[in-house]
Amino acid sequence: MRFPITVRSLGAPRLLLDETADEGEPASSEIVQIAEAAGIRGRGGAGFPLAVKLRSITAADLVIANGAEGEPTSVKDRFLLRERPALVLRGLRLAARAVGAGRACVYLSDHAAAVTLRRLAPDGVDIIEVPPGYVAGEETAAVRAIGGGPALPTAKPPRPWQSGILVCNVETLAQLALAARLGPAAYRMTGTADSPGTLLVTLSGAGRTPALFEVPYGVRLGDVVRSHLGRVDRVTGVLAGGFAGGLLPARALDLPLTHAAFAGVGSTLGCGAFVLLAGDCPIGVAAEVARFLDRENARQCGPCVKGLQGVAETLDRLVIGSATGEDVDRLERWGAALPGRGNCATPDAASVLIGSLFRHHRPLVRAHVGTACPACVPADFRIPVEET
C-alpha cells in the first residue's frame, strides 16, 4: 500500500529519492568523521550533533534505530520505515560499525513497517514492535521495552549511552546513510552551516489534508506553509514541534527551520511537526493538547500525573467559562513548576505549552475567565496513517 500522506519537497529531494544503488562501505573509523564533517544533527527532537553522540559512547553493545514515533502530529518516521527501509537499515549498520556494537535493532510501533522490515532486515538485526504510545519513543522507554519491560521511561542518569546503548532516531540514521553516499561536502550543499542538510516536516491543520515535506534546514516555516496551503494569510498561529514546542503566534512563520531559531523563542523545532491554526482559539487548542498529555503520560511520576491532571482540568474550565482568576494564576505557577519533574520530558512539554499561552496570549487567557468561548472547538490533531 502507498503511504497515505502526500509527500513533497522544497528544493532537491534526498530522503524522498528512492535510490538503492550498491555502495561502498566506509571503514568504521571513517563513519564518525563523515558524521562530523557533514554536521549531522539528531532528528528525534533535540538536534544533538550525531558525531558527539557516536564519540561519547564507550564499550557499545547495542544500537537502536528508534522509529516509535509517539508525537501524534508527526508521520515522518513511519514514512521512512515503510517507504525507505533500506536507507534506515543502512544507516543503522553504519552507526553500529562506527561504535563497534555487536547488536542492532529497529524499535517501532507501526505494524505495516514492522512487516516490511522483518522481510528486509539482515541477520543480527531484530525488529521490535511495541504498542503505539506518546512516551514509547523516549529513549529510556525504548531501552526498557527492548529489555522485556513496558515501553515507559526510566530515571536518568544513566542515559542509554552511559550504559553502552546508542539510540538514534530513524531519520538521523537515514541522514547518516545519505551523508556516506553523498560525501560530507555534497551533504552540506543544502541547509545552513549550523544545521546542514534537509529535514522532514509534517504539516497539518487549517482544514487541509496533512502533508509531509522534505526541506532544507533554514527555509522559513512560512515558505513550507505557502507551498502546502497556497497562501499564508489564513494562518493565525502554529502548534510547534509536535506537542513539545507550544503555541506560537502567526509571526512564527518568519522563523527559519533551525533548532536555534525555535529555541530562541522559547519553543522547539522538535520532530519538525507543525499544526497550522486558522482561527482556532489558542486556549481551546491548549486544552486539547493538555487533555492528550494528561491521558497519554506514563502514569509513573507524581508531579506529572497530578500536574497534568490539574492543567487539563483548568484549561477545560477556561474553555467552558467556569475558571476563576485564581485558577489562571495557579495555571501559570504550575507551568513554571513542571520542567524536569518527571523521568521523561512530558511535564516539560506541558510547561512550554502553558508558558507560550501566557507569553503570547495573556489577554486572551484572562478574557476566558467567567466567559465561555465560542471559538474553542474540540479538535483531534492525530494524523491517521493506519493501513486501510
Applying CB under 8 A, which residues contact another protein?
Answer: 153-155, 157, 298, 300-304, 306-307, 333-334, 337, 341-343
Nearer to another protein, 238 or 301 (CB): 301
Q: How far apart are CA 155 and CA 178, in angstroms?
A: 34
User: Minimum distance from CB of 334 to another protein (Å)?
Assistant: 6
Task: Decide whether 252 or 301 has the Cβ nearer to another protein.
Answer: 301
CA–CA gap between residue 301 and residue 308 (Å, rounded): 11
Q: Which is nearer to another protein, 153 or 210 (CB)?
A: 153
CB of 342 to another protein, least distance (A): 5
CB of 63 closer than 8 Å to CB of 160: no
- Return the number of the residue (227 or 300) whose C-beta is nearest another protein: 300
- How far lies 83's CA from each of 116, 174, 222, 235, in Å? 9, 12, 27, 31
E runs forming strands in the chain: 6-9, 62-67, 103-108, 125-129, 165-169, 198-205, 211-216, 237-239, 247-249, 273-277
CB-wise, 8 or 341, nearer to another protein? 341
Shortest CB 305 distance to another protein, Å? 9
* C-beta of 126 vs 332, nearer to another protein: 332
Of 323, 306, 304, 305, the C-alpha closest to 315 is 323
Q: How far is the CB of 301 from another protein (least distance, A)?
A: 4
Q: Could you give the angle at which helices 325-337 and 346-367 cross, rounded to 10 degrees?
A: 150
Q: Among 87, 8, 4, 99, which residue's Cα sits nearest to residue 43?
A: 87
Of the pair 282, 342, the CB lying nearest another protein is at: 342
How many whole angstroms separate alpha carbon 91 and alpha carbon 175? Answer: 7
- Closest separation in Å from C-beta 336 to another protein: 9
Cα 182 to chain centroid distance, Å, stands at 25
In the bound state with another protein, the residue whose beta carbon lies nearer, of 155 and 367, is: 155
- Of the two residues 223 and 296, which places its CB atom closer to another protein in the complex? 296
All cell numbers assigned to 70: 509517539
Q: Which residues pair with 168 in a beta bridge?
A: 65
The residues, ordered by sequence, that sit 6+ positions from 321 with a Cβ below 8 Å of its Cβ are 368, 370, 371, 372, 373
Q: How far is the CB of 118 from another protein (least distance, A)?
A: 32
Alpha-carbon distance of 75 to 5, in angstroms, equals 8
Instruction: Considering only CA atoms, give the Rg of the chain.
Output: 21
Nearer to another protein among residue 13 and residue 339 (C-beta): 339
Give me 176's grid cell. 547518516
Q: Nearest approach, Cβ of 303 to another protein (angstroms)?
A: 5
CB of 333 to another protein, least distance (A): 7
CB of 300 to another protein, least distance (A): 4
What are the start-end ranges of the H helices in 64-122?
76-83, 85-99, 111-120
Q: Please state, as a whole number, how many other Cβ atoms lie within 10 Å of the Cβ of residue 122.
A: 9
* Cα 107 from chain centre: 15
Nearest distance from C-beta of residue 58 to another protein, angstroms: 18
